């Protein structure tokens, strides 16, 4: 089988490029400095990594004959025609959390700078050498009301940090459970007028038909005199013309702006005002976030090109941006579990069963689609979340779901059970903490490990000294163990060993010759 190709269209951090260069099973091309030949290159692409400077439109898609998925190395997907991608069966993913802390901290910079006019005081003193303290009376944040619009990854963290300033935080987000806000000692409101009464307002929503011009003349007129407005999310959430008028009149005392309707925005009239603190879209501009974005985008591209999973996909069977935050890892996780089942089975599939317990059960129909794609993708590369039922029927695969599986010890649990020609493989999983994936059972071997990276699955007779013998062998091969989980059953054991080095075929053959070995598999997730 020929190698598949990942193409990087725009500049990403070198760490991500280095990882792509190290792959043996994937061909990688970096065209970030050769955009003039974009269309010639993307004909070869199975997966594309973009940023904001490459428009993925009809022309792009027409030229990209072999394209299966796109990873947008960043939060927004404004440059991608998602509907056109969906029609062609191209999965669109983004990297929603890699720059979270950078965006959160920049928002707080704008918030404090507006409250105290720091940049203007700095310029007057340092650049103009004017010492006039009476010109720079600011406002304390303590006891002020902060209105937070949008309580997702960024908005929630801004709100939590604002509490450290002893601010009163009021949150408006009609798409979340109010308990998430109330549980962290903040006030939830479903009345937008409660936000408008705030001393400072910061917005953290995506840009769509519902949120464009969310703050305009009508809303500003109802605000307190001297309100401060912050936008480090997306340009266009505030109506810039109305904001300009309000800033000139003094109705809005200060605005902190990192994003604008049109960018680059060097001729924006807001920049002419002396009560606007502006930065050139720096939300993701930290060394740490650029590394995170690059590595996350590359990892997603690798999983996609191998057909393992599609993390943070917009046009999957379920859009992770439309479901509860504590459930949004499950679509990709279930696909990964199904893929892992097929790595154990390696035979024709007869039946795919999805089981759920807890709140995740409301996603069961969509998760069944994810399981089907994950199981079949390795030998039917054109399957997607639109045609999965047709493909499964053509292959004679039965699809079923059950929302009453036996609960183990976690609130949300999902099982994928695949029946092959001569055996059945079953995997049970859950997420823990901050959506960390955990597999807690494989074929009734109860164990607990995080399914990522390079993993050896070693099944052995339960005899004395096996673990030591196995560890000694890996040490002699120069393979370091990062983590180890063992499950026991009826005189045998199954170990999942996370290692940091690729395991050669020769090493696997040697492992099979260990006296206690029943089976061994090496899988990259």
Point out the residues that are catalytic: 234, 263, 281
User: Where would I find the H helices in 143-198?
Assistant: 153-163, 178-182, 192-196
Spell out the residues 6+ positions from residue 330 whose beta carbon is closer than 8 angstroms to its own. 360, 363, 367, 412, 414, 431
In this structure, the number of other CB atoms found within 10 A of the CB of residue 179 comes to 9
Say how far apart CA 48 and CA 89 lie, in whole Å. 14
Element containing residue 187 per DSSP (H, E): strand 187-189
What percent of the chain is helix, strand and coil (3-state, nearest 5)?
Answer: 35, 25, 40
Spell out the residues 6+ positions from residue 133 whose beta carbon is closer than 8 angstroms to its own. none
Distance spanning both ends of the chain, measured CA to CA? 20
Yes or no: say if 364 and 403 are a contact pair by the CB < 8 Å rule.
yes
Radius of gyration (Cα) for the chain, nearest Å? 26
Q: Tell me, letter by letter, the H, E, C secondary structure of 507-521.
A: HHHHHHCCCCEEEEE
**How many Cα atoms occupy the beta-carbon half-sphere of 189 within 13 Å?**
17
How is residue 144 annotated by DSSP? Answer: P
Which residue in 55, 89, 59, 88 sits closest to 72, CA to CA?
Answer: 55
Spell out the residues 6+ positions from residue 477 whose beta carbon is closer than 8 angstroms to its own. 503, 507, 510
In this structure, the number of other CB atoms found within 10 A of the CB of residue 137 comes to 8
Say how far apart CA 234 and CA 32 lie, in whole Å. 25
**Residue burial 505-521, b: 16+ Cβ < 10 Å; e: rest:** eebeeebeeeebbeebb
> Which strands sit side by side in the sheet containing 481-489, from one edge to the other?
481-489, 492-499, 454-461, 517-524
Say how far apart CA 17 and CA 29 lie, in whole Å. 9
């Amino acid at each position: 089988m020929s190698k598949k190709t990942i193409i990087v269209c725009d500049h990403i951090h070198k760490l991500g490029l280095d990882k792509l260069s190290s792959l043996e099973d994937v061909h990688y091309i970096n065209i970030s400095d050769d955009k003039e030949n974009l269309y010639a290159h993307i004909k070869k692409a199975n997966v594309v990594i973009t940023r904001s400077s490459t428009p993925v439109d009809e022309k792009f898609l027409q030229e990209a004959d072999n394209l299966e998925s796109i990873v947008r190395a960043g939060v927004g997907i404004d440059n991608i025609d998602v509907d056109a991608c969906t029609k062609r069966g191209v999965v669109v993913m983004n990297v929603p959390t890699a720059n979270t802390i950078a965006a959160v901290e920049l928002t707080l910079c704008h918030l404090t700078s507006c409250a105290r006019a720091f940049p203007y005081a700095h310029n007057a003193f340092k650049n103009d050498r004017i010492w006039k303290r009476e010109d720079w009376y600011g406002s304390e944040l303590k006891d002020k009301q902060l209105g937070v619009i949008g309580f997702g990854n960024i908005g929630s963290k801004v709100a939590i940090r604002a509490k450290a300033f002893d601010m009163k935080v009021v949150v408006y987000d009609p798409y979340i459970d109010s308990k998430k806000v109330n549980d962290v000692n903040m006030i939830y409101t479903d009345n937008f007028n409660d936000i408008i009464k705030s001393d400072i307002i910061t917005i953290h929503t995506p840009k769509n038909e519902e949120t464009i011009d969310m703050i305009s003349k009508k809303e500003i007129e109802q605000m307190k005199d001297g309100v401060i407005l912050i936008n480090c999310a997306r340009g266009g959430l505030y109506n810039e013309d109305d904001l300009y008028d309000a800033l000139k009149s003094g109705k809005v005392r200060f605005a902190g702006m990192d994003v604008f309707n049109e960018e680059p925005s060097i001729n924006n009239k807001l920049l002419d005002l002396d009560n606007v603190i502006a930065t050139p879209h720096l939300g993701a501009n930290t060394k740490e976030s650029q590394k995170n974005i690059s590595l996350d985008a590359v990892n997603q591209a690798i999983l996609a090109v191998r057909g393992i999973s599609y993390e943070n996909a917009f046009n999957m069977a379920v859009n992770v941006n439309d479901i509860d935050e504590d459930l949004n890892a499950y679509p990709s996780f279930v696909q990964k579990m199904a893929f892992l089942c097929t790595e154990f089975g390696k035979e024709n599939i007869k039946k795919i069963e999805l089981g759920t317990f807890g709140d995740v059960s409301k996603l069961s129909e969509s998760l069944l689609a994810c399981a089907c794609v994950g199981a079949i993708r390795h030998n039917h590369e054109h399957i997607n979340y639109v045609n999965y039922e047709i493909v499964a029927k053509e292959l004679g695969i039965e699809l079923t779901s059950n929302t009453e599986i036996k609960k183990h010890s976690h609130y949300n649990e999902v099982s994928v059970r695949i029946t092959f020609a001569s055996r059945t493989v079953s995997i049970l999983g859950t997420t823990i903490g901050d959506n960390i994936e955990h597999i807690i059972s494989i074929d009734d071997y109860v164990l607990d490990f995080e399914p990522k990276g390079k993993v050896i699955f070693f099944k052995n007779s339960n005899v004395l000294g096996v673990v030591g013998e196995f560890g000694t062998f890996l040490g002699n091969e120069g393979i370091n163990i990062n983590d180890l989980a063992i499950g026991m059953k009826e005189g045998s054991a199954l170990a999942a060993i996370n290692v940091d080095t690729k395991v050669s075929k020769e090493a696997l053959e040697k492992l099979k010759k260990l006296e206690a070995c029943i089976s061994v598999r090496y899988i990259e997730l």
